Structure 1
Amino acid sequence: MKNANILQSRIDALLNVLSEDVLILSQLGTIIFSSHNESPIPWGEADELTGKNLNDIFPGDIASMLQGMIDKSLSLNQLMVKEVLFDPTVIVYLQQRGMAESCWVEVRMAPSAGDEPSVVCRIEDISRRKMAQRETSQIQRDLLTGMYNRRALMPVLAQSIAQALRYDWTCSLMLINVDSLRLINDQRGWDVGDQILKRLAESLNSLKRTADFLARVGEDGFAILLPETNAEQGILAAKRVSSMVSDLSAPHSGTDIHFTVSIGVATLSGEVDSAESMFSRAEDCLQLSKQQGGNRISGSE
């Protein structure tokens, strides 16, 4: 009996230092126990929830989802985790208790020991984490085209190089720049230049393979990482891009503005290669294509 009291005391102390909500739910979704120390969610008093069912608190779709988590946790005897939006305009129970703004929560359920089947449920407000993830995603994407940018490309390129070296594969990097885009912007207007970049981004996205990684790099170009692609295959891929671009145009004042691209391709050269050196070689090849008058393809291992 003494050991049981000590264990209960330790459990109470643990609950007191947790800022997350902790519930114990029966197999049928009834709340057996609840703890809400410093919770940002207005559940009400702890004993106010005891005895309530999930359907008494949440609308049908959320209650069904949570009940499904209970069923899976108990049947599979494992932890279940989901992210759920708590919207007070939908969850009337929380709205009536003063919740004004939506928040994202992480719901974690694990089977609980006891005579009756039950789960321990932890509910944590992760709104700040979701906001940080969204901001990180925005930092890694180009606002005009929605494509990934160079910041996102470089670690993926480094990983592709590491995998190629480990498994004796290869990979190539293609840089694609719109020829004379600044001149087009000056003569036709920035809207035309933006339309060209959007059309090119959409077409490149439809042309690339599933394993390829497309990103916008710089004001006038894109990069495509080509895993398991040697130098010869990289040049063939560049020719397909050049051929595709020959059919593209952007509308302007009732006419179609056609454009061309210059392309540089670099292929993994060995164990001393890195994402930075490979990108630099692709840039050198791209500059060679431009120096030769544009609408050219240059490659290098």
Structure 2
Amino acid sequence: MTDSEGLQQRRFECLLTAIDQIVIHLNGAGEVISVNAGSADWLKTDQMISRTFSALFSEDLAGDVSAQIDKAFETHEPQKLTLLMKPEHSFHWHELGLRLTQTWETKLVDVSDTELIWVAKNISQPAQQEQKVVKLSQRDPLTGAYNQRSLMTILKQSVAQAQRYDWVCSVLLIDIDHFSQVNDQYGLDTGDKVLQQFVEAMHAFQRTADFFARYADDRFVMFLPETNREQALLAAERVRKLAQEQCVVGPSGELEFTVSIGTASLRDSQDTPDSLLKRAEENLFIAKQSGTNRIEGDEV
């Protein structure tokens, strides 16, 4: 190696230390000459040297990587390839330290007739973070139920679809009876436990197509697609009994609670999510005024 080549090599190695991506130097035979792990601190770089690069990948990916290498030499242009790396399907990469599924955006460049540089950027983390943020924005942080904003989005879409295809649907507006007294008598922590246990029970109870959300402090809404008035009343009665069976352990002992429920079912093309919820609230008011632990529905 000449002095000039040695200087270039040192500059190249210095540059690599500032890059957080995986950078792999390959010879013309596709063998690994050197590796910079970047931010992938899990990667056992010393175990990669002199190994055939494409052979490190699972069978379904090895062909794509080999084609990427061949095309880079053939066209002398950068070759991009996105790879989904699953540890359970990538035995060699698992040996090299890969433990979590990652999505790599890779680029391969031929730097001479006998050398290539392969760069991989992990793009899965931003996507996972974005999904996490979206999920958090849709959920009530205390109970894990969907929030009112998510509910209204679903109601607008579902009611419009039901009207378009002449389907039926219903809503249950569920109120925990005497909840303010629970907070006053047993404390806010116990009140939170009541909400959380009720939501947990409802998640186990609901059908896959149902949508359950926290509507206000002690109120919840369950949207029931393809459910008419009579079916909604039956569902409401099951929810009432489910709540009555719950028992929350607080600092003063065991606490039981009940719910009152108002139901409303889609009537015609003039109905809206707001009108459905308004009727459900009116029916809930009747249930509360009639002694609580009751259900009330639309008049026939």
Decide: shared fold, TM above 0.5: yes
Q: Distance in 2 between matches of 1:145 and 1:157?
A: 21
**Higher CA-based Rg:** 2
Q: Distance in 2 between matches of 1:83 and 1:264?
A: 50
Q: Given that residues 22 and 121 in structure 2 are in contact (C-alpha distance below 8 angstroms), is that contact kept between their aligned partners in structure 1?
A: no
Q: Given that residues 73 and 80 in structure 1 are in contact (C-alpha distance below 8 angstroms), is that contact kept between their aligned partners in structure 2?
A: no
Give per-residue Cα distances to partners, 1:168-207, cap 9 Å, x unaligned.
2111111111111111101111121112112211211122
Q: Distance in 1 between matches of 2:217 and 2:228?
A: 28
Residues 1:83 and 1:268: Cα distance change in structure 2 (over 3 Å)? farther
Give the CA deviation at 1:93: 8.1
Alignment of 1:44-63 (within 5 A): 44=23, 48-49=25-26, 51-52=30-31
Q: Distance in 2 between matches of 1:222 and 1:161?
A: 18
Give unpaired runs (5+ residues) of structure 2.
Answer: 1-17, 38-42, 48-53, 66-80, 88-92, 107-117
Q: Given that residues 142 and 148 in structure 1 are in contact (C-alpha distance below 8 angstroms), is that contact kept between their aligned partners in structure 2?
A: yes
Normalised TM-score (structure 2) = 0.64
Aligned to 1:41: 20
Q: Distance in 2 between matches of 1:162 and 1:65?
A: 52
Q: Distance in 2 between matches of 1:270 and 1:171?
A: 11
Aligned to 2:11: none
Q: What amino acid is the match of 1:193?
A: G
Q: Given that residues 69 and 80 in structure 1 are in contact (C-alpha distance below 8 angstroms), is that contact kept between their aligned partners in structure 2?
A: no
Give the CA deviation at 1:291: 2.8
Alignment of 1:197-212 (within 5 A): 197-212=195-210
- More deviation in 183-192 or 245-254? 245-254
Q: Distance in 1 between matches of 2:62 and 2:277?
A: 51
Aligned to 1:138: 136
Give the CA deviation at 1:134: 1.2
Q: Over the residues paired in the alignment, what is the CA RMSD in angstroms?
A: 4.0
Residues 1:256 and 1:206: Cα distance change in structure 2 (over 3 Å)? same
Aligned to 2:163: 165
Aligned to 2:103: 106
Match of 2:253 among 217, 230, 255: 255
Give per-residue Cα distances to partners, 1:150-171, cap 9 Å, x unaligned.
1222222222223322332111
Aligned to 1:114: none
Q: Distance in 2 between matches of 1:185 and 1:177?
A: 15
1:175 is the counterpart of 2:186? no
Normalised TM-score (structure 1) = 0.64
Give unpaired runs (5+ residues) of structure 1.
Answer: 1-38, 95-101, 110-119
Residues 1:166 and 1:80: Cα distance change in structure 2 (over 3 Å)? farther
Give per-residue Cα distances to partners, 1:17-72, cap 9 Å, x unaligned.
xxxxxxxxxxxxxxxxxxxxxx963334x7x245246xx88679xx9995355269
Aligned to 1:125: 123
Aligned to 2:286: 288
Question: SS state of the match for residue 202, structure 1?
Answer: helix
Q: Distance in 1 between matches of 2:277 and 2:55?
A: 50
Q: Distance in 2 between matches of 1:234 and 1:72?
A: 55
Q: Given that residues 103 and 125 in structure 1 are in contact (C-alpha distance below 8 angstroms), is that contact kept between their aligned partners in structure 2?
A: no
Question: SS state of the match for residue 142, structure 2?
Answer: coil
Paired residue total: 234
Aligned to 2:153: 155
Identity, % of aligned pairs?
35
Give the CA deviation at 1:246: 1.9
Residues 1:122 and 1:42: Cα distance change in structure 2 (over 3 Å)? closer
